[in-house]
Amino acid sequence: MRLHLPRELELATSKALAEWQAADGLRRIHERDAALWTGSDEPSWLGWLEAPFHEKANLPRLRALQDEVRDRGLTRAVLLGMGGASLWPDVLSRSFPVATGHAALTVLDSTDPAEIAAVVDRLVPEKTLFIVSSKSGTTLETDLLEAFFHELMKDRLGSLPAASRFVAVTDAGSPLARRARLHGYAHTFHTVPGIGGRYAALTSTGTVPAAVMGVDVELLLERAAVMAGASTKSTPPGDCPGVVLGTALGAAAKAGRDKVTIVASPPMAALGAWLEQLLAESTGKRATGLLPVDREPLGRAEVYGSDRIFVYLRLDRGFDRGQDAAVAELEAAGQPTVRIALTDAYDLGQEVYRWELATAVAASILGVNPFDQPDVEASKTAARQRMEAYDQAGELPDDAPFFADAGLALHADPANREALERGAAGDRTLRGYLRAHFARLSPGDYAALLAWVDRSEAHERLLEEMRRAVRDHRHVATCVEFGPRYLHSTGQMYKGGPGTGEYLQITADEPEDLPIPGYTFTFGVVEQAQALGDFATLTSRGRRALRVHLGREVDRGLNTLARAVHEALAA
């Protein structure tokens, strides 16, 4: 790892590192000293420090699972989970090739009917294994997906054969563990009580899907153990990669450089989504935090402000020369960078440990608890309230749009509506309101596009074009997120972090909805309730937010929105 920091940030990082050393931080973190953070329940959530060693006890069961997948001829695996249960498996599925005789992994962490239907369309029941992953065993989205696919597999295969195609990953004694026992699932792997979901990549949460794919789990753990060995209580802080990275990130945030912009070689690009949750959910609280900026296309040096720190994860045998040149240009322009070299995909094991420790260190510098997520529950509560209202009235409560044209409708709370109408002045058009929305961005702010549509390549491409236009015109950091996935990752930062975000939420009607066995509502209703609940939570925190509803013609509506965004920014 190599740091390239401007002089003032280099001095601030050196000071933070010296303070960490004077505080005997590594020893105290290993000895579970809550005073490193907020003096709360932090010691209860530090089991990840030993995970690379403790998880080796699971290797015989994981090898047996690998053999079973091969012997039964299972070629597909679908993981149902959210947040920490899904993001690391998604990294694995996109970073490792599927070993011969093992299963290709699909991660489904959405309530969007189109995304679910796409999995159903590709489903070959006789060849598919489902991994139902939820630490608490009570995650709403996972419960609903499990109910849907369990019933589908029963219809296709019969009760007993269907149950043999399910594996549960959950806490011992959880509701999911009880359902797995009741239905006769093939296996249940228990999670570790003292490890939260976003720190669980090196436990069953990550190793079970890795094993199903045929990944060499032992080698992955060995790489992580090397990093753990360089992070013991007796390691000098300056020699500990996680502490050096954590002090740099913490010092950068305190100096106003709180946008951690992730640049990764193409084969490792998926790592950014896992880092999003780890950084945002761990630090984004008490009006502070590290905002991860993932998948933002690299631009020329002049489009960036003084609120960034860039992290370049460069794969030795898969790097991109364009990224090399762009990062070198940023360094020459005085932007701070952290360069981390990876030799192959198995080095992801060491990165898990490096970043978990770095996040805990940065949280200590920022004075927050890295293991709680106090603002995540607010959106869940708001969504549940809307689903309960749907049960009562048969429809979701929603506000009337303050503007509608070309099939699109704009929604906002009274404070945001007033600000947008004032900013639009005489241009009360879609372009005018979008211009007023983006005009509220100032240096040091960030813009987030929060899309509640299916995560297709076409939709991602349009959203990426919009974010690039916002970045280049307003010179602010940008995020593109899909719901409900982001509720379990960056959503904590959006509600609990500094009020520097501006949000454009994008919703739509479902052209083809899907019922959920045993429930009165559909997946489309759940998705809409989650979107409306999150928007209400954002505005209740005084956030600058605007909702664009696309109607039923999602593709047409998103193209119309993209054109209007470009016109608004150009104006």
Q: What domains does the chain contain, in order, with CATH numbers?
A: 2-31+233-366 (3.40.50.10490), 50-223 (3.40.50.10490), 376-570 (3.40.50.10490)
For range 462-479, the mean pLDDT: 98
On whether the CB atoms of residues 506 and 449 are closer than 8 A, the answer is yes
Q: How confident is the model at residue 378 (pLDDT cuts 50, 70, 90)?
A: confident
On whether the CB atoms of residues 290 and 401 are closer than 8 A, the answer is no
pLDDT of residue 29: 97
Nearest one of 212, 185, 220 to 68, comparing CA atoms: 212
* Separation of alpha carbons 489 and 480, rounded Å: 12
- Specify which residues 78 forms β-bridges with: 106, 130
Q: How confident is the model at residue 394 (pLDDT cuts 50, 70, 90)?
A: confident
Q: How confident is the model at residue 531 (pLDDT cuts 50, 70, 90)?
A: very high
Report DSSP letters for 339-397, one per residue: EEEESSGGGHHHHHHHHHHHHHHHHHHHT--TT--TTHHHHHHHHHHHHHHHHHHSS--
Retrieve residue 36's tokens.
């490193």
pLDDT of residue 571: 87
Q: What is the pTM of this model?
A: 0.97
* Separation of alpha carbons 368 and 376, rounded Å: 15
174: pLDDT strictly greater than 90: yes
Q: How confident is the model at residue 377 (pLDDT cuts 50, 70, 90)?
A: confident
Q: Map residue 521 onto helix, strand or coil.
A: coil
376: pLDDT strictly greater than 90: no
Residue environment code for 529-541, b if the CB has 16+ CB neighbours within 10 A, otherwise e: bbbbbbbbbbbee
- CA 164 centroid distance within chain: 30
Nearest one of 322, 143, 543, 49 to 151, comparing CA atoms: 143
Retrieve residue 366's tokens.
């920022």
Nearest one of 104, 144, 147 to 128, comparing CA atoms: 104
Sign of the Cα torsion 205, 206, 207, 209 reads positive
* Separation of alpha carbons 401 and 392, rounded Å: 23
Nearest one of 7, 8, 47 to 353, comparing CA atoms: 47
Tens digit of each residue's pLDDT (9 = 90 or more) over 1-17: 999 999 999 999 999 99
* Separation of alpha carbons 321 and 301, rounded Å: 17
Retrieve residue 235's tokens.
């390691």
245: pLDDT strictly greater than 90: yes
* Separation of alpha carbons 181 and 362, rounded Å: 41
